[in-house]
Amino acid sequence: MDFKNSPDIVFSVKDLENAVSFFKIFCDLEAVKKDDYYAVKTEHYNMFLVEGDEFRTLIEFYVNDLDVAMQLCLAADCEVIRWNERDHWLKHPEGFAFHLEQRK
């Protein structure tokens, strides 16, 4: 199974507009509104701001076989946060959250 780190980090925040303001005002970063989240591009990675409290910070991994990766995660007692056909959001028993996306 091939896990590769992604340049994406997701922050779940309680007040989306307040978080966007912080990155715009204090960090001088542009935040672009997407469907129900904001994308913030930096020089080395991409940040995504979503509203909610399912997790706080989520890192992303690209995998070559999502089904196999999911089975490995479930065997390690990871909890499914969100699931759809092309990607999965999980939480490790130690508390950190991560996103799996299939990329060949």
* CA 18 – CA 53 distance, rounded (Å): 15
Please count the structural domains in the chain.
1
The CATH number that applies at residue 59 is 3.10.180.10
Closest alpha carbon to 37 in 47, 24, 50: 50
The string of pLDDT tens digits covering residues 16-65 is 999 999 988 988 898 999 988 999 988 888 999 999 877 788 899 999 99
Q: What is the pTM of this model?
A: 0.74
**Is residue 99 pLDDT above 80, yes or no?**
yes
Residues 55-79, mean pLDDT to the nearest whole number: 91
Tokens describing residue 61: 């991994």
Question: What's the mean per-residue pLDDT of the chain?
Answer: 89
Supply the pLDDT for residue 56. Answer: 81
Alpha carbon 73 to chain centroid distance? 16
Identify the domain containing residue 13 by its residue range.
3-102
